Amino acid sequence: MPGYNEDDWLAINTIRCLAPDMVNKANIGHPGAPMSLAAVSHVLFNKFMQFNPENPSWPNRDRFVLSNGHACALQYCLLHMFGYKLSMDDLKQFRQVDSITPGHPEKLDTPGIEVTTGPLGQGFGNAVGLAIAQKHSAAVYNKDGFELFNNHTYCIFGDGCAMEGVASEAASLAGHLQLGNLICIYDDNHISIDGDTAIAFTEDVLKRFEAYGWHTQWVEKGDDDLDAMEAAIQRAKDVTDKPSVIKLTTIIGFGSLKQGTHDVHGSPLKPDDLAQVKKKFGFNPEEFFVVPQKVYDNYGARSKAGAAVEQEWNKLFSSYGEKFSKEHSEIQRVLKKDLPEGWQKCLPTYKPSDPATATRKLSEAVLEAIHDAVPELLSGSADLTGSNNTRWKKATDFQPPSTGLGDWSGRYLRYGVREHGMGAIMNGLAAYGTVIPAAGTFLNFVSYAAGALRLSCLSHERVIWIATHDSIGLGEDGPTHQPIETLAHFRALPNIMVWRPADGNETSAAYYMAFTSKSTPSVLALTRQNLVHLENSVLEKAIKGGYVLHEDKEAQITIIATGSEVSIAVESVKTLKDQGIVARVVSMPCVEVFDAQDKDYRLSVLPDGIPILSFEAMSTLGWEKYSHEQFGLNRFGASGPYKKVYEKFEFTPEGVAKRAKATVDFWKDVKPIRSPINRAFTHVI
Amino acid sequence: MPGYNEDDWLAINTIRCLAPDMVNKANIGHPGAPMSLAAVSHVLFNKFMQFNPENPSWPNRDRFVLSNGHACALQYCLLHMFGYKLSMDDLKQFRQVDSITPGHPEKLDTPGIEVTTGPLGQGFGNAVGLAIAQKHSAAVYNKDGFELFNNHTYCIFGDGCAMEGVASEAASLAGHLQLGNLICIYDDNHISIDGDTAIAFTEDVLKRFEAYGWHTQWVEKGDDDLDAMEAAIQRAKDVTDKPSVIKLTTIIGFGSLKQGTHDVHGSPLKPDDLAQVKKKFGFNPEEFFVVPQKVYDNYGARSKAGAAVEQEWNKLFSSYGEKFSKEHSEIQRVLKKDLPEGWQKCLPTYKPSDPATATRKLSEAVLEAIHDAVPELLSGSADLTGSNNTRWKKATDFQPPSTGLGDWSGRYLRYGVREHGMGAIMNGLAAYGTVIPAAGTFLNFVSYAAGALRLSCLSHERVIWIATHDSIGLGEDGPTHQPIETLAHFRALPNIMVWRPADGNETSAAYYMAFTSKSTPSVLALTRQNLVHLENSVLEKAIKGGYVLHEDKEAQITIIATGSEVSIAVESVKTLKDQGIVARVVSMPCVEVFDAQDKDYRLSVLPDGIPILSFEAMSTLGWEKYSHEQFGLNRFGASGPYKKVYEKFEFTPEGVAKRAKATVDFWKDVKPIRSPINRAFTHVI
Ligand SMILES: [Ca+2]
Ligand SMILES: [Ca+2]
């Protein structure tokens, strides 16, 4: 093994001075971890990782995830020094509004950032997803002599990530899946924000990972012993049937007068401390933001070597194209996030005479119909396959072949009862670039994954949640399982589509939009109970998010409903007619998509002049945006057969008619009645 | 060790027949786990647990938590057979609307249910909380010769719970805390909903718990070997410096023709299968819902013994009262959830001239001021103590004395970076009955604990989240940490108070309500940044949830704001005045409490006749309920100094004035303008 020399230490010490410079200029941030992780990241980036800063989206690049995202000054330094499009000025703009160096790494802001991290544990889960995607892509696309996909995923995580359940879930699954392409470095610095980890975190982390089935190693001198780091990473690479974790014992804030204490975790160094750090590492304490040319040169050479590797890969990919043109164009297509020509013709369509069916079953019919046409779809469930109906009949499980339960090309992932881990893994799967992840759980338990879901939204990942048992309509499982707040929660997230289809055609519409919206995650809220197929529901209307299902020019009221409540609303029209009230009905499977339509359209659906009543069997919060009055459930549900539960809360045609009548009466004296579509001003975007 | 005889097997076999009878009558439910857990629960309830069915709230009873709550037919059978107020008719009403035997165990519905379980992993976390509360209460109240609190907490959990991150977090903390009073039984049946656990869950669970610092044992014959079960539980009791887990290998659906498969997990047995089960266990296949008198007699004797133990305890408690009258009355008080006379006089009050202060600091001032007066308060943080300001200066940590870091009487819990576990543990702490748990994290990461928070609401636990860094106002940490959807999410939950105080008096008001609302959890959303103390903010007004902060009879518009936005709204009044517009300002620290006021009051705050503009620096979703127009942030935030971030989104007096003017203009032509307080009908409750 080649030794390390002063050039290596120069690079490492550059980071140890540059990162705290960034934090000090911002006057806020985390210098400690960058200083102590400088050594291992130098070894990782300069000896192991393959990447080309000129093309951060080269498909077979090694992936790097900084799960302790608060240490991002480290990552920004590295990206700058290796030649990514991140200037010294960008480093100086650390944590400033509209800079490309925000307080935590965001993949949309900064070239070279693979996934958005910071919320602890998420990056670790993303890394597991990235590793799964690599394994899967290799199995699907690699051919003899054509190792298109063979990259590694490297992840650094700290004590915080190690304590988070989301990372535990992902680690357990990674062990089961024998992800030999995943190498994680645990920054064991004995410090978290509250001080010494002795106060709350005294478990044996390596033993825990062993219990998960990981290969484990310990590097005791994580700030000094570059050879040991290199040897450990190399051994980790050599172990191909297990994920690897390397416990790297470091001294947080290495070099600072306060090293080894939580004082260096989340605050700038004192000026005199920073000065002595620089002296200690051979830099001029009077100078700031310094990268010696030699470091640029050496790192530049490494990057150039990476560029050459990419060139080789490009040639390989070209000749692959000559032999395997179908796969070649498929890879090119999926990397652009395009869908296959005509795929949408596979989406099932229904007529009102078709038998009543639960939307979870209609969702299964979609998956059954499109899985051949859309090979990048990777489905799965958090141990509710039979309830979520997420698996097409001929699916193969994604499993280590040695288990005899499937293989790496399998397109069905058994996530186990690990919803949060599943969400973080899906973000990693989507970030890899060759996969569209979809996975199921009960809608109520998507909430367990709220931390991951909001990052799907923030980082624009096309992730699809197949969220069945979407309301009190699940019946007997009762209030512990019946969503009340859930849709309001998700609808309050930016950049999401929350679909609650009312029948077969709307379910197909939901999938159409979920697949074709390249930068937006979707939650499909689906029923356990059967629903009739509606007159006038067609995909072309449903993909507008809201549309008129039942029109009447004489209408005195508009009733908006979603999902299982739409057919009840339609029935209530007859009940109202008997009472001399004319109603029209709007189906609103996705408010976000409806919001994106032009105002004329929206006003044609929710016109001025008559009051609007919303009807959805859960929290009414947010429906005031579209309606004058709201019928819903602002309490927890009840355990019982679902029809009885619906009756208890008067979610019947008669119950709706009663509220509709009250609405018409109440608004009789107000003129003009304005549709809530009209707004005094538009929101800042 | 005494052996077991036919009486024991009669009781066990009764459960094995009675539980599937319940499921079959309901025609939906989970027979498998009750059948295989019948044996161990018999040993547990009949040999170990101390309880009195006549008084399910006897303070020193042993606690039992069925974390795999879907197996609740088991628990209902046991409660019935031991003589809790749960009749055979109640068992026959399993999973029916308004029965006391819902689909998952709910503490408010059923005598003898300690905590509401079903959402996987939660019960395990609750059990850790119950165990902590016992340790703490013992340390605070027990005296020489007066072991008032020495109960054990027993918890059964399955593969699902074992896979959930929330349980992993709680287990790691329980190991650190050396909770020798906690005994968990892991139902190792190799089956989860998707089939054999080999497909997704192949880790070594006992080794993982060892890594956490638990005492571990394995009972191989979990359906048969009663002696081994008893021995293991006894050994677990004997180990007093570690929590214990017993892996109990069972055959799911023991006795069924489908035993050992997932077919018996979540569906009724086929009638012929049920018949052969009964024959196999010596029951008449023609008869249903049978409990032999002998079983009632034996279990009744056990319950009677428990009642006698309670009687002894009551005597002990009486004589304790003679010696320690202060502690005695304190225990009586806290068990009633009452607060000490006059405690609220400790709450700080402020005047506008007091220095501007962050509400997180004002929250700290409250804790500092009241912690002596309210000894049942147990504070803590998920590793953000210095940021959440959750620790009063002289606090002692709750820690095993052997760590040298604190002791069992300590009132400050270092939860580690384990938000979801913290939420589940707090539910257990509150359920024990002697503690008011409060704990901190960033508001954004309360979302990690969404699964636990909704159970606080459902089971009426007085749990307090000290949720700091409550908006884009946290500044540089950026969008990954800035809540947008969070308050809308929580406000959509039933039975919660979401407080966002604007200054010192409102912060005191929030605490006043959080402590005095015995059956409602609270989330206190607190700023990182300093806020001025407002003219006209007083506790007496703020505890109404919303009130007029700045009145003007000539007002053309009402501006409602919360938290850090209130002072900006107040400033905008001047800006508007310069433009010839008269505005009044409403501060709305808690919409739920405002909703609970009578209509006259609410209309006095939000009157008819003029338009209302809401202003809150996050999702506007839900504000339509209180306002005609909404100013907020329906996108993710930005990383930067908070004032710059506020400017970016025009959250300035000028920005508010601009929207207020647009609102006045827009509503000019509508007459009459109705306050949204007016509704056509009231919601079902
Ligand atoms: Ca650390
Ligand atoms: Ca199981």
What does the alpha-carbon distance between residue A105 and residue A75 come to, in Å, rounded to a whole number? 8
Over residues B379-398, the pLDDT tens digits come to 999 999 999 999 999 999 99
Is the pLDDT assigned to residue B259 strictly greater than 70? yes
User: Do residues A178 and A226 both lie within one domain?
Assistant: yes
| Residue A673, domain member (yes or no) | no
Over residues B459-478, mean pLDDT: 98
Q: How many CB atoms are closer than 10 A to CB B45? A: 22
Burial (CB < 10 A; 0-12, 13-18, 19+), residue A57, is exposed
Mean pLDDT of chain B: 97
Taking the mean position of all CA atoms in its chain, how far away is CA A466?
A: 14
Do B390 and B492 sit in the same domain of this protein? Answer: yes
Same domain as A565, residue A453: no
The DSSP string of A59-96 is TTPPEEEESSGGGHHHHHHHHHHHT-S--HHHHHTTT-
Which of residues B255, B287, B307 is at a domain's end? B307
Q: Express each pLDDT in B38-92 by its tens digit.
A: 999 999 999 999 999 999 999 999 999 999 999 999 999 999 999 999 999 999 9
Residue A247 near residue A188, CB atoms below 8 Å: yes
Q: Which residues pair with A154 in a beta bridge?
A: A64, A183
> Does residue A19 sit in helix, strand or coil?
helix
Residue B330 lies in a domain: no
Q: Does A100 reside within a domain?
A: yes
Contacts with B167 from chain A: Cβ below 8 Å: 165
pLDDT at B2 over 90: no
A186 touches chain B (CB under 8 A): no
Residues in the 5 Å CB sphere of ion ligand 2? B 158-159, 189, 191-192
Note whether residue A323 is domain-resident.
no
Number of A to B CB contacts under 8 A, please give it.
418
Nearest ligand atom owner, CA of B191: 2
CA-CA distance, B330 to B312, in Å (whole number)?
20
Q: Is the pLDDT of residue B527 over 50?
A: yes
Q: What's residue A2's pLDDT?
A: 56
- Residue A455, H or E segment: helix A450-458
Both tokens assigned to A104: 């935590």
Q: Which residue of B has its CA nearest to A656?
A: B681
Asked if residue B394 belongs to a domain, the reply is: yes
Same domain membership, residue B263 and residue B395: no
Q: With the C-alpha atoms ordered A132, A133, A139, A145, is the resulting torsion angle positive or negative?
A: negative
Residue B505, domain CATH: 3.40.50.970
Whether B488 is covered by a domain: the verdict is: yes
- What is the rounded distance in angstroms from the CA atom of residue B271 to the CA atom of residue B381? 52
Listed by number, the residues of chain A in 448-507 with a beta carbon closer than 8 Å to a beta carbon of chain B are: 448, 450-451, 454-455, 457-458, 475-481, 484-485, 488-495
Is residue B527 located within the same domain as residue B556?
A: no
Question: In b/e form, how buried is each residue of A85-108, taking b as 16+ CB within 10 angstroms?
Answer: ebeeebbbbbbbbebbbbbbbbbe
The residue assigned the tokens 């954004």 is: B444
- What is the structure's pLDDT at A288? 98
Q: In which residue ranges of chain A is pLDDT below 50?
A: 1
* Bridge partner list, A437: A378
Q: What percent of chain B has pLDDT over 90?
A: 99
The residue whose two tokens read 């306002």 is B627
CA torsion angle for B371, B376, B380, B386 (degrees, to 10)?
0
Query: How many Å apart are CA B311 and CA B334, to the nearest integer?
Result: 21
Instruction: For residue B566, give the CATH number of its domain.
Output: 3.40.50.920
Largest CA distance in chain B: 90
What pLDDT is recorded for position B685? 65
pLDDT of B167 > 50? The answer is yes
Task: Measure CB to CB from residue A385 to each of B194, B450, B622 and give the nearest one.
Answer: B194
DSSP A560-586: EE-THHHHHHHHHHHHHHHTT--EEEE
Q: Estimate the crossing angle of helix A165-177 against helix A419-432, to 10 degrees.
A: 70
Q: Does B596 touch chain A (CB under 8 A)?
A: no
Please say whether the beta carbons of B482 and B463 come within 8 A.
Answer: no
Nearest by CB: B201 against A203, A416, A672: A416
Residues A441 and A490 placed together within one structural domain of the fold: yes
Q: Do A236 and A295 lie in a common domain?
A: yes
User: Does pLDDT of B514 surpass 60?
Assistant: yes
Query: Where in the sequence is the domain holding A300, given as residue range(s)?
Result: 6-307
Q: Give the model's pLDDT for residue B653.
A: 98
pLDDT score, position B571: 98
pLDDT at A685: 65
> Which of A307, A329, A351 delimits the end of a domain?
A307
Residue B529 tokens, joined: 């940044």
Distance A159 CA to ligand 1 centre (A): 4
Q: Which residues of A touch B96 (CB under 8 A)?
A: 639-641, 644
Tell whether A585 and A473 lie within a shared domain. no
Measure in Å the smallest separation between the Cα of A307 and chain B Cα atoms.
Answer: 32
pLDDT tens digits for range B99-129: 999 999 999 999 999 999 999 999 999 999 9
Verify that B155 and B238 share a domain, yes or no: yes
Q: Order of strands across the sheet with A583-587? A: A547-550, A583-587, A557-561, A612-615, A629-631
Smallest-distance ligand from the CA of A247: 1
Evaluate if residue B1 carries a pLDDT over 50. Answer: no
Give me the pLDDT at residue A683, please. 77
Does A525 share its domain with A558?
no
pLDDT band at B683 (very low <50, low <70, confident <90, very high): confident
Q: From A159, which residue of chain B is nearest by alpha-carbon distance? A: B417
Q: How far is the CA of A189 from the centre of ligand 1 (A)?
A: 5
d(CA A154, CA A115) in angstroms, rounded, equals 12
Active site residues of A: 419
Per-residue model confidence as pLDDT tens digits over B559-610: 999 999 999 999 999 999 999 999 999 999 999 999 999 999 999 999 999 9
Query: Is residue B600 in some structural domain?
Result: yes
Catalogue the long-range contacts made by A272-279 (C-beta closer than 8 Å, 24 or more residues apart): A274/A20, A274/A21, A274/A24, A277/A16, A277/A17, A277/A20, A277/A35, A278/A17
Q: Which of residues 386-445 of A touch B (CB under 8 A)?
A: 386-387, 397, 399, 403, 405, 414-418, 420-421, 444-445
Q: How many CA atoms lie within 13 A of B275 on its CB side?
A: 4
Whether residue A88 is found in the same domain as residue A153: yes
> Are B381 and B293 in the same domain?
no
Q: Is the pTM of this model over 0.90?
A: yes
Tokens for B162, please give them: 């074992």
CA B159 to ligand 2 centroid distance, Å: 4
Residue where a domain terminates, one of A476, A503, A531: A531
Residue A34 CA, ligand 2 centroid: distance in Å: 43
Closest-CA residue of chain A to B192: A383
Closest residue of chain B to A442, computed from CA coordinates: B119
How many domains does the structure of chain B reveal? 3
Q: In this complex, do A638 and B119 lie within 8 Å of one another by their Cβ atoms?
A: no
Mean pLDDT computed over every residue of chain A: 97
Q: Tell whether B78 lies on the interface with A, counting CB pairs under 8 A.
A: no
B13 falls within a domain: yes
